[in-house]
Every structure is written in structure tokens, then in C-alpha cells.
Amino acid sequence: MKDAPLILVVDDTPTNLEVVTEALGDAGFEVAIATDGERAIKQATISQPDLILLDVMMPGIDGFETCHRLKATPTTREIPIIFMTALSDTTDKVRGFNLGAVDYVTKPFQEAELLARVTTQLKLRNLQQSLEQQVEQRTAELRAALQQVQQSQVQLVQSEKMALLGQLVAGVAHEINNPINFIHGNLSHVQEYTEDVLSFVQLYQQHSANSAPELQAAAENLDLEFIQHDLPKTLASMKIGTQRIFEIVRSLRTFSRVDESECKAVNIHEGIDSTLLILQHRLKNKPEHPEIQVIRDYGQLPPVACYAGSLNQAFMNILANAIDALEELDAKRTYQEDQNKPSQITIRTSVINHQSVEIAIADNGSGIPKEIQQRIFDPFFTTKPAGKGTGMGMSISHQIITEKHRGKLLCSSTSGKGAEFIIQIPIQQQICAAS
């Protein structure tokens, strides 16, 4: 910061330069001089004075042209210019003001008037700069506040959506659970009854040689031998089906996490698997894109203290983005390319440093350009078309991992080789222990 304002005095007359320089110096200003317009422009560009006193009548380019060039250059445009002139013609003064001058000082100089005009213009410039800084600062604050409000609104909507989804999934799981319990519970009885009936039929067949012709004909029409062989298989298949429904219901309940507001130790793999179940319809083979293979490379993880519902939301956002990337790539590829390089999502889990767990979710899509990687966790940033995304999914995931779980969310990508998101969270959360 300069101790005193710097004033550039431009005049081709040495006597005028001496008078003005002495007056300004005695008043405590720093002074630089130039004797023509060209030198004045170079000097102003280099030293960036706080004010310029510019003579109108000079050899070479006159004061008007010098002023015009100074005002046309971004680095000197804002420097206030006071013309020094013996001209009294109003037309010349108007011309100077139109070119951007802020004031006139008439020769011969009156020292008090000169200092008064210089001081006034410097005060005005300082006031203008101060106001501009305040406006800029206030604008930045308002912009940040608006962004925070928008982010909070979207986060609230996302949280409500996830809460509603959790409630819906929990409700559906509960409704499915009741009838499937009834079916599964009765299957064991049906199996026992069937075994008894088949034993009776087998015994009957052993003594059917003398049975009525009508009974023998009915047995042949029923194909009892096939029924005896196939019925146990059918019942076993039904039992497997009900067990599979039980697994689905359990996964749905795991994903919904109706107790998601609580921080407690959970099985991370169950959360990932339940999230994949919710996204299963997008992973299956469809006419518009082939099946997306999911490779689970799970390590031995201990129970992890976390907010399970929120963590599942982060898994959902990251996996959904990976599916989006693979679908976008598949839409551009040929059938043969799809066969040669099937779309894959690899999920790898491990313990690091005995204190944290790492969940790496990688896809073999097109990758993320470097310039986008730097902004991928910014609120409202999205590369998707309008209506396809809010740009908040990755931002919310970042907040869930870094702020809510005191962890890290990293992105690594190479163009043409896919992208990998790495989640690292502590096994134990101090905030959980406190609660």
C-alpha cells in the first residue's frame, strides 16, 4: 500500500512542471512527470498513478488524444484525469469531459485551487473504490447466501425423497412379508401332506393289479408316475422362491433403514447389496443397452459405525451416476463392441490402517475429463441435459461422507478407461459415541 497518493504531471513546459511538482510535493503527494503524451501513457501504464494532471497543448499527440488513449486502455481507464489548460473555450472543456476528464485547472495556476481540485478528486476516487469493494463484497455474500439457500432447498428435497422412498420400501417390505410368511410357513405342511399322499399312491400302485378298470384308466390319464417324480421338485422350487423373496424383503428393509437418524454399527456390504437391489432394474439387459455386470470384490469388514440411511443414499448416487455413464457409452457403441467390452461396475471393499474402511466403486465407461473432475462435487454442477439431474447428487454424497461421517470421497478417472469413486470412513465415529 502506498504511503501517499501518486500524481502524474504531464506538461511540455519545464516551468509549469516545476511549479506544479513543488506545490504537490509540499502538500505531501508523490509526483511523477512526463513531458509528452506518449511518455505519459507508458508512465501511467507502469506506475498506475492515483491521478493524472494533463496539459492540453503539447507537441506530438495533444492532451485530448492522450486522454482518449488512456481511457481506451483497461489498465489506465479508471485513473481520474484533470486537464491543465489556458484554453477558456467552453467547447474545448466539453470535449475534455466527453473524453473522460473529471475536472479542469486553468493556467496560470492558483496553488490553493490546484490542491483543492486534486484533493477533491482523490477523495472521490477513494470513495468510489470503497463503494465498489463494498458492492462487490456484498454481491459475493449475497451470491454465496443464495447458493446456500438453493443447496439447502435441494438437500431438503433430496432428504425428503429418500425418507419417502425409505418409508415406501419399508411399507412394501412389510406388506410382502406377511403373505410370504404365510405361504412359506404352510409349504412345510404341504410338503408333509404331499409325501404322505405320494406314499399312499405308491402303496396303492403296488396293490392295483386287481383294481377296477376305471381306477386303472384314471391313473394312466393322470400320469401318476410323472406327478410322483415332479411334485417334490415343484414344492422344493416354491420353497426356494419364498426364500428368495425373504432375501429381497430383508434387503429392502436394510436399504430403507427406518432408523437412519441413528448412528450405529452396521454391515456395509448389506447396505451396498440393498442399494444394488433397488437399482437392479437398471442393471438388467434391455433393448436399448446390454446388461451391466456388477463385480463384488468384498473384503473382510468389521461392523462400521455410521448413519446407514444416509450412507446408502451416497451409494445410490454414486452407483446411479456409474450406470448413467455406462448407458451413455453403450448408446454410442455397436453390438460387437458391447460383446468385446461388456459394461461393468466393480465394487471393492477393504480395511485401511486398521481405523477406516474403503469402498471403491469403479466403472469402465468413458471416464471424466480433468476439467470436470475439479467441479464434480460442486453444488448444482451437472453435465446432464436439462431435466435429467439437479447437479446435487455428488455434492450431497460428498457432504454425507466428509461432514456427516468425517471421511473422504475421492474421484479418479482416466479418459476412455472409466472412473472410480473412493469412499473412506472411520470404523468408529466419535459423534456416534457421543450420542
Region of residue 354 (left: phi > 0; alpha: psi -120 to 50; beta: else): left
C-beta of residue 359 within 8 angstroms of C-beta of residue 272: yes
Q: Is the peptide bond before 302 cis (omega within 30 degrees of 0)?
A: no
Sign of the Cα pseudo-torsion (276, 346, 315, 286, in order)? negative
The confidence score (pLDDT) of residue 1 equals 44
Q: Give the three cell numbers for residue 51.
A: 491521478
CB-count burial class (<10 Å; 0-12, 13-18, 19+) for 294: middle
Q: Give the three cell numbers for residue 286.
A: 434391455
Alpha-carbon distance 54 to 66, whole Å? 9
> How confident is the prediction along the chain (435 residues), in pLDDT tens digits per residue?
457 899 999 998 888 888 888 889 888 899 998 988 889 999 999 889 999 999 888 888 888 899 999 999 898 988 999 988 876 666 777 888 888 888 888 888 788 888 888 998 888 888 888 888 888 888 888 888 887 777 677 666 666 666 666 667 777 777 787 788 888 888 888 888 888 888 877 777 776 666 677 776 776 776 777 777 888 888 888 888 888 787 777 767 766 654 455 788 999 999 999 889 888 888 988 877 788 999 999 999 999 999 888 898 889 889 998 998 898 888 877 656 666 788 999 999 999 998 999 999 999 988 888 888 788 877 666 766 555 555 567 888 888 899 889 999 999 988 878 999 999 999 987 766 555
Alpha-carbon distance 158 to 152, whole Å? 10
Alpha-carbon distance 361 to 357, whole Å? 13
The confidence score (pLDDT) of residue 384 equals 64
C-beta of residue 368 within 8 angstroms of C-beta of residue 416: no
The dihedrals phi and psi of 78, each to the nearest 5 degrees, come to -90, 0
Residue spans of the domains in the chain: they are 6-109, 149-256, 262-435
Contacts of 117 by beta carbon, 8 Å cutoff, 6+ apart? 82, 103, 105
Q: Give the three cell numbers for residue 320.
A: 446411479
Strand 419-426 relative to strand 356-363, pairing? antiparallel
CATH 3.40.50.720: does it fit domain 262-435?
A: no
Beta strands in 298-365 (DSSP E): 304-306, 344-352, 356-363
Contacts 24+ apart (CB under 8 A), 202-208: 202/228
Report which residue type is found at 33: I
The reported pTM is: 0.52
Region of residue 100 (left: phi > 0; alpha: psi -120 to 50; beta: else): left
C-beta of residue 54 within 8 angstroms of C-beta of residue 67: yes
Strand 264-266 relative to strand 293-297, pairing? unpaired
3-state secondary structure 123-177: HHHHHHHHHHHHHHHHHHHHHHHHHHHHHHHHHHHHHHHHHHHHHHHHHHHHHHH
Alpha-carbon distance 161 to 392, whole Å? 13
Q: Residue 254's closest CA among 232, 277, 236?
A: 277
Alpha-carbon distance 318 to 392, whole Å? 12
CB-count burial class (<10 Å; 0-12, 13-18, 19+) for 367: buried
CATH 3.80.10.10: does it fit domain 6-109?
A: no
- What single-letter DSSP state applies at residue 177? H
